Structure 1
Amino acid sequence: MTSTPAPTPPSAPTPVHWKLVVDAGDPHAQADFWAAALGYEVEDNSALIERLLQLGALPAAATVDFHGRAAFRDLIAVRHPDDPYDKDSGTGPGRRLLFQRVPEAKTVKNRIHLDLHPGEGRRDSEVERLEGLGASALRHVKEPAGEWVVMADPEGNEFCVH
């Protein structure tokens, strides 16, 4: 009698890098807001852009001057300052928000949003700081599950501060 070998257990999947993409009317203003809100850095893609321009692979009309350096006209990302990134492209595989220009304005409630956790006892001062950056407090929520403030960024995207 021959025995059937035991099936090989499935291996764990390789983690997938991801970024959250946010539609924006003004991606650069959104990047500035969220970089300041989160303590992130705006990615510097200028070296990549200059190479693409020199190769003729990118038209000059697809770029803008952003804080004194070349940037893509229709998209820009912010990333956590501790995360790795490729120095040749300025792009990182870590915690990122990418803002992409779209022609239409936001019209309905977000189906996904960020929850910010500034730390114990810091919610009110964080809400005030974010309002100073251009956010708006929409409502204060107090439920048995917790308390938070629903806010909107300068383009109306909702997020919560816990």
Structure 2
Amino acid sequence: MNDSDVPASGSGSPAPVHFKLVIDCANPQAQADFWAAALHYEVEDNNALIERLLELGALPREAVVEFHARLAFRDLVAVRHPDDPVAPDSGTGLGRRLLFQRVPEPKTGKNRLHLDLHPGEGLREGEVERLKGLGASVLREVKEPSGQWVVMADPEGNEFCVQ
């Protein structure tokens, strides 16, 4: 790698790499609804982009569904932090995001990557109850010298922890 391969950030150091966490699932819309509610995030609105792609013939109609009275991609739905910027032409979040993508195979083992939710001091029990009300389930409660947390599963069985 040479200096021309490193994006400038104005301070001489490389610019941070933008990313999103992609989660394979059977039902992206249901997962997006669960995680938007769980994290107090917003489901991305890609309606304008989808309408433009359909009009251009760049996207087949069968790749689209109606979701929350808007057009959405059938196999991809993202949720984003409500305070982060959004690309006005596409509705895509430009910050903290989770993207749910439909895959044909079911989940078969333990996640290699998971989210840890930190609701705040003294709020874990109430947050666990709220998440159960959204469709999550408790897998186990962990009490170790290093701390306590609850291991949960979202509606499709993906593990996450509540600290």
- TM exceeds 0.5? yes
Partner of 1:52: 53
1:61 corresponds to 2:62: yes
1:30 and 1:42 map into 2 onto residues whose CA distance is: 10
Question: How big is the shift at 1:15?
Answer: 0.4
- AA partner of residue 13 (structure 1): P
2:38 and 2:60 map into 1 onto residues whose CA distance is: 32
1:70 corresponds to 2:88: no
Say if 1:18 and 1:93, in contact at 8 Å, map to a contact too.
no
Partner of 2:153: 152
- Secondary structure in 2 matching 1:106: coil
1:13 and 1:157 map into 2 onto residues whose CA distance is: 34
Question: Residues 112-150 of structure 1: CA distance to partner in whole angstroms, max 9, x if unpaired?
Answer: 000000000000000000000000000000001100000
Partner of 1:37: 38
2:155 and 2:98 map into 1 onto residues whose CA distance is: 15
2:137 and 2:72 map into 1 onto residues whose CA distance is: 28
- Secondary structure in 1 matching 2:160: strand
Quick one: percent identity of the two aligned structures?
77
TM-score, with length taken from structure 1: 0.93
2:144 and 2:13 map into 1 onto residues whose CA distance is: 38
- AA partner of residue 161 (structure 1): V
Q: 1:112-151, aligned counterparts within 5 Å?
A: 112-151=113-152
Question: Residues 63-100 of structure 1: CA distance to partner in whole angstroms, max 9, x if unpaired?
Answer: 00001110000001000000001111000120000000
1:149 and 1:101 map into 2 onto residues whose CA distance is: 27
Of stretches 11-20 and 48-57 in structure 1, the one that deviates more from structure 2 is 11-20
| Structure 2: runs of 5 or more not aligned | 1-11
1:104 corresponds to 2:105: yes
Of stretches 85-94 and 97-106 in structure 1, the one that deviates more from structure 2 is 85-94
1:105 and 1:124 map into 2 onto residues whose CA distance is: 30
| Structure 1: runs of 5 or more not aligned | 1-10
- Secondary structure in 2 matching 1:81: coil
Question: What is the number of residues matched between the two proteins?
Answer: 152
Partner of 1:85: 86
2:93 and 2:131 map into 1 onto residues whose CA distance is: 25
Say if 1:75 and 1:98, in contact at 8 Å, map to a contact too.
yes
